[in-house]
Amino acid sequence: MPDELLHLPAVERILARHQGTPGALLPILHAIQQDIGFVPDAAVAEIAHALNLSQAEVRGVITFYHDFHTTPPARHTLRLCRAESCQSRGAEALAAQLREQLALDDHGTSADGAISLRPVYCLGACACSPALELDGQVHARLTPERLRELVNGCREDAAC
């Protein structure tokens, strides 16, 4: 993965910024993911070295937390809330609709790289369930029609 090395200057900058912060690992991983979109494997050794940790420790943290990803994301990330409040308002049917419309499972990425699906457990929008988060924006009081529109929107901008 030589192109991953292209990300190293960004990683170095982030490490320099957080060096000296107590408990810096999560802020560093968040910053890298924000900047690059994922945590490239090439960053692990750099982080471990900077924080005086073993690479296994850094990998252990990356894999423990659902938020951190080690591969590039799709153009859009759709996180449908699957927790109890949204379930009581039809989230499971919406999940089935998504699986069918995108021919994906709950954790999949579409073949054209347009959209990644991920479950999320509560967005704090439970008074207006069901809810989802699309590229950081929460949509609540979701209907099957609205969900279809949002997905179509993601696919259309991928086509151009």
Q: Which residues bind ligand FES (CB under 6 A)?
A: 81, 83, 85-86, 122-126, 129, 131
Tell whether omega for the bond before 130 is within 30 degrees of 0, i.e. cis. Answer: yes
CA distance 68 to 58: 12
Q: Which of 8, 42, 48, 83 binds another protein (CB under 8 A)?
A: 83
The count of residues interacting with another protein (CB under 8 A) is: 41
DSSP-assigned letters across all residues of 98-153: HHHHHT--TT-B-TTSSEEEEEES--S-GGG-S-EEETTEEE-S--HHHHHHHHHH
- From ligand FES, another protein, none, interface partner of 29 (C-beta below 5 to 8 A by class): another protein
Q: Which of 138, 148, 150, 155 binds another protein (CB under 8 A)?
A: 138
Q: How far is the CB of 111 from another protein (least distance, A)?
A: 25
Please choose, out of 5-13, 26-34, 98-106, 108-116, the segment that lies near another protein by the rule CB under 8 A: 26-34
